[in-house]
Structure formats: structure tokens, C-alpha cells
Amino acid sequence: KPDIIHAHNALYGGLLARKISKKYTIPYLITEHSSYFSRGLVPNTLYSKVLDAYKNTNCLAVVSPFLGKELTRIIGISAKKWKWIPNVLEKEFEQFIHQPLGRKNTDTFIFTSIGSFIPIKGHLNLIKAFSDTFSATEKVFLKIYGGGPLRDHMIQLVQKLNRAHQIHIGEYLNRKEIINLFKQSHCFVLPSEIETFGVVLIEAMSFGLPV
């Protein structure tokens, strides 16, 4: 029997933690990461149960002040109820903080973006914005890595805009590959419509990349 239960997100870990807590009188805490309240994705049938899980948790942690303020605005949770505990860097990235990188490629400016290929991540908008901002002859390059249902649409858009020589759509990367990518990049772009805390932002910033 555990001393405490730590659930990540009310849906659905928090609901389960609340149920276990009631049955076995074990204290629980919830760390909320998700933007589903802001996006209106909480099912009506579960709304009251989610509120109950928040109300009875011994500690409600949020990964950003933005998310805490959103919960306060949307469902009326007091600012005194939530605590901001930000996400952290993995050790693989920490070692590069404050180190000069000495990027070798100075001829072409490289923008990089990493994330799931889903509508809320905004990659189609990023491709359009890149094409609108830079001419086809400028020495700029956009590398987008990830995976998801919009991959084919992204590739088709790049081809339609005749920018295959400037925009690369790649697969998911492991940490070692991400580190190598950041070493070659000059700027990181996060085109998401909403984020509670994009860990990839602090990963990019650990390499001194503007974001």
C-alpha cells in the first residue's frame, strides 16, 4: 500500500487517484500538463468528476503559471489551490548550457521545429509562414521533425509551394539526434496554437537557440 499517489493529468490519472484515495484513504496529488480545458475537450459526463478530483487533491501542481491561470479562469480553481512546478531538462541537455557551440554552417540559416504532426501544433501554418516570409532563392532552411496524421498534408504543401529545396519534413528523433540537430540550427520555432509547457523549448534554449 503506497503512502501517496501522484497522478499526471486529471484525465485520466487524477480520476483514478481520487477513486483509490476514497477507498483506501491514501493522499494523492495531481500534476496537470494538459490544455484540454482551454480547448474545450473535457467530456460533459466527466466534468464534475474532474472538478471533484481537483477539489480533493492534497496538492495540485501545474507546469506553468499560464496553465494555473487558465484553470482559475475556466473552472474557478483558486490561485491558492495550485502550485507551479515547471518541467525540467534531462541531463543530456543540461551539459550544453553556457557552452559555446561554434556552429560551422554560416552560409545557410537553419530554422528547426519538433513536434507531433497534428492540427494544434500548427506545422501547416509554419510552412505557409516560412514560404510567405522568405523567397525561394534565399539561403534559409526549415527542418521539421515528428510524426502524425498531417505528415502527407505537410509534404504536399511543401511541394505545392515549390519549397522542397528549403523545407525538410523528417521523422521522430531520439535525444542524441535532437542534440545533433540543435548543434546545427540557428533558431527554434514552436508554431503550436496552445502549449501548457513545451519541454522542447527549454531543450532548444539550453543550446542558446533563440525560440
Mean of the per-residue pLDDT values for the chain? 91
Residues 65 and 70: their CA atoms lie apart, in Å, by 9
Our CA dihedral for 75, 79, 83, 87, rounded to 10 degrees, sits at 60
pLDDT of residue 104 exceeding 90: no
Q: How many CB atoms lie within 10 A of CB 4?
A: 12
The residue-averaged pLDDT of 56-64 equals 93
pLDDT of residue 56 exceeding 90: yes
Q: With CA atoms as reference, report the closest residue to 147 among 173, 108, 182, 176.
A: 173
The residue-averaged pLDDT of 46-54 equals 92
What is the three-class DSSP state of 46?
Answer: helix
pLDDT of residue 105 exceeding 80: no
pLDDT bin (cut points 50, 70, 90) of residue 101 is low
The residue-averaged pLDDT of 22-27 equals 96
The residue-averaged pLDDT of 72-80 equals 79
Residues 2 and 29: their CA atoms lie apart, in Å, by 13
Residues 119 and 106: their CA atoms lie apart, in Å, by 33
pLDDT of residue 79 exceeding 70: no
Model confidence pLDDT, tens digit, residues 124-174: 999 999 999 999 999 999 999 999 999 999 999 999 999 999 999 999 999
pLDDT of residue 98 exceeding 80: no
pLDDT of residue 191 exceeding 70: yes
pLDDT of residue 201 exceeding 70: yes
Which one has a higher pLDDT value, 136 or 208? 136
Please report the pLDDT score of residue 192 as a whole number.
Answer: 94
The residue-averaged pLDDT of 102-127 equals 89
Residues 15 and 108: their CA atoms lie apart, in Å, by 50
Please report the pLDDT score of residue 41 as a whole number.
Answer: 87
Please report the pLDDT score of residue 94 as a whole number.
Answer: 83
